[in-house]
Amino acid sequence: MANSDSGPAIPLSVVILAAGEGKRMKSALPKVLQPLAGRPLLAHVIDTARSLQPAAIHVVYGHGGERVREALAREQVQWTLQAQQLGTGHAVLQAVPKVPDDHVVLILYGDVPLLSRQTLLDLLAVAGPRQVALLTMIVSDPAGYGRIVRDGQGKVQRIVEQKDASAEERGIRECNTGVLAAPAGLLRHWLEGLKADNSQREYYLTDVIAMAVKAGVAVNPVACADPVDALGVNDKVQLAFLESVCRHRAARELMLAGVTVADPARIDVRGRVTHGKDVFIDINVVMEGTVKLGDRVRIGPGCVIRDAQIGDDTQVLPHCVIEGAVIGPGCNIGPFARFRPTSTLSAGVHIGNFVEVKNSTMADGSKANHLSYVGDAQVGARVNIGAGTIIANYDGANKHRTVIEDDVHTGSNSVLVAPITIGAGATVAAGSTVANQVPAGKLTIARARQTTIESWTRPTKQKK
Ligand code: UD1
Ligand code: CA
């Protein structure tokens, strides 16, 4: 909702411009789909727009059209095609007829992803039925931006694009961020009157500022507190810079919330991390999706953790890849362990080096310490999966389940051919390949018997 000076709040509609090609990205992927902190640029903008609870969010798309819509199909937005990119004013004009005249329209850019909710609320606070709010920024190098031209009393008069600016105007350091909020009916009227009589032969959205002034509608500039927030992405250099901003902000948030981060420059959070107290995260850790860390969790260097939950006091040693796992409290994971979706470990489970766990459950105190594959298995409590044990879950066509009951020990290098149940307390001898049910409480051996050939002599090299 936007505010007028007096009277009730005015309904808000957001228009996001996302039709540009982004030539300078030199990529087959449309610019607004380039990922920042693990999500498309446009998704960040839609999120921020949604946080304002508008009546509607309109996205103007063009380049990479269907791909953009498909990638963001789950977003609750209205799509408007701008078939030809004739300028920012033309782009807004494609969507604005869909907005009721009594709304305030907030215009955002699909490639300006870091604007905060608060900045936009500050802007909307000075928009109204006869007020245009304009987000500006003061920058040391204004090259490329539209400049804000004020009159003798400091009132905003118009915006002049760099390419159309006089030498004197180019010296202005107060620039247009591109973001503005205006009454929908008047905006539509002004946009319909735009002319492309400028150096780029484009319909400039920025020309509506002079039209507002002419119509006696107040133009209220709001300076963006941190110009970094208003930065756009045009090339991979700027994309990497914004990524570093995201990285820094995420690390800072974690640290202020009590997490010890070994080096805030070497942690990547591309999603949402929640955590308990006294968590430690070593260098070069990447966290994606939704990650939940309990109290006193320690994550070693070089781990990649995606959509996972890690219980209190669990240690993850260096270089583990954990995806789609729920790991209980007091577990020891790694180094060099890999979890594929989806696994659940109870308390005190140990998963050691070069062990892969997939779609399995493991109950309290079970261990797979070395070089194993645990796939499609239900593992009981206190099981010891010996070094090199492989669960052969796949027959070349279908996957089958394995049940390993409590207190089972499998010897080194055993192969458990699924579907199979290993009874409680059973021991499978080292080197066995078991394909039939293994009875509880007994030793089962399934390997060739050891024999010694008494008469054998080692061949010797024949003399020529
Ligand atoms: C625009 C502003 C400039 C401002 C700058 C801030 C105008 C005329 N100029 O310039 O004052 O300082 O942004 O970054 O508005 N787009 C469409 N359809 C089009 C043209 C553009 O959807 O036909 C979209 C682009 O995808 C992009 C945004 O509008 O998201 C801005 O377009 P761009 O061409 O980059 O404008 P600038 O020249 O940077
Ligand atoms: Ca731009």
Mean pLDDT value of segment 147-169 = 96
Output the domain CATH number for residue 11.
Answer: 3.90.550.10
In angstroms, the CA 183 to CA 129 distance is 5
Residue 170 shares a structural domain with residue 71: yes
In angstroms, the CA 112 to CA 126 distance is 21
Rounded distance from Cα 143 to ligand 2 centre (Å):
11
Query: What does pLDDT average to over the chain?
Result: 95
The residue whose CA has the least distance to atom 35 of ligand 1 is 20
The residue whose CA has the least distance to atom 36 of ligand 1 is 88
Rounded distance from Cα 173 to ligand 1 centre (Å):
18
Q: What is the pLDDT of residues 176-192, one digit of tens each?
A: 999 999 999 999 999 99
Residue 420 — φ and ψ, nearest 5°?
-160, 150
- In the structure, what pLDDT confidence band is assigned to residue 21 with cuts at 50, 70 and 90? confident
- In the structure, what pLDDT confidence band is assigned to residue 6 with cuts at 50, 70 and 90? very low
Q: List, in sequence order, the alpha helices (H) in 179-303.
A: 184-192, 208-214, 236-256
Question: Does 204 map to a domain?
Answer: yes
Taking CA atoms, 27 is separated from 18, 20, 424, in Å, by: 16, 13, 57
Question: Does 250 map to a domain?
Answer: no
Q: Decide if 357 contacts 368 (C-beta within 8 A).
A: yes
Residue 86 shares a structural domain with residue 167: yes
Output the domain CATH number for residue 368.
Answer: 2.160.10.10
Residue 109 scores a pLDDT above 70: yes
Residue 46 shares a structural domain with residue 143: yes
pLDDT at 377: 98
Q: What is the pLDDT of residues 26-64, one digit of tens each?
A: 999 999 999 999 999 999 999 999 999 999 999 999 977
Residue 95 shares a structural domain with residue 198: yes
Question: Does 122 map to a domain?
Answer: yes
If you count them, how many residues does the chain have? 464
In angstroms, the CA 269 to CA 236 distance is 19
Residue 147 shares a structural domain with residue 290: no
Residue 5 scores a pLDDT above 70: no
Angle separating helix axes 184-192 and 88-95, nearest 10 degrees: 130
pLDDT at 9: 81
Domain count, the chain: 2
Ligand whose nearest atom lies closest to the CA of 233? 2
Q: Which atom of ligand 1 is nearest to the CA of 109?
A: 30
pLDDT at 464: 84
Question: Does 118 map to a domain?
Answer: yes
Q: What is the pLDDT of residues 341-397, one digit of tens each?
A: 999 999 999 999 999 999 999 999 999 999 999 999 999 999 999 999 999 999 999
Mean pLDDT value of segment 95-102 = 97
Residue 283 shares a structural domain with residue 139: no
Residue 187 shares a structural domain with residue 266: no
Q: What is the pLDDT of residues 130-154, one digit of tens each?
A: 999 999 999 999 998 999 999 999 9
The residue whose CA has the least distance to atom 32 of ligand 1 is 88
Question: Does 168 map to a domain?
Answer: yes
Q: What is the pLDDT of residues 225-266, one digit of tens each?
A: 888 999 999 899 999 999 999 999 999 999 999 999 999 999
Ligand whose nearest atom lies closest to the CA of 224? 1
Instruction: Please state the pTM of the whole predicted model.
Output: 0.89
pLDDT at 170: 96
AA letter at 273: V
Residue 200 shares a structural domain with residue 272: no
pLDDT at 4: 47
Mean pLDDT value of segment 421-439 = 98
Beta-carbon neighbours within 5 Å of ion ligand 2: 232
Question: Does 457 map to a domain?
Answer: no
Residue 222 shares a structural domain with residue 267: no
In angstroms, the CA 129 to CA 181 distance is 10
Burial (CB count <10 Å: 0-12, 13-18, 19+), residue 216: exposed
| Parent domain of 198 | 2-230
pLDDT at 8: 58
Looking at the chain, the whole-number percentage of residues with pLDDT higher than 70 is 98
Rounded distance from Cα 20 to ligand 1 centre (Å):
8
Choose, from 63, 189, 370, 400, the residue flagged as catalytic: 370
Determine whether 370 is an active site residue.
yes
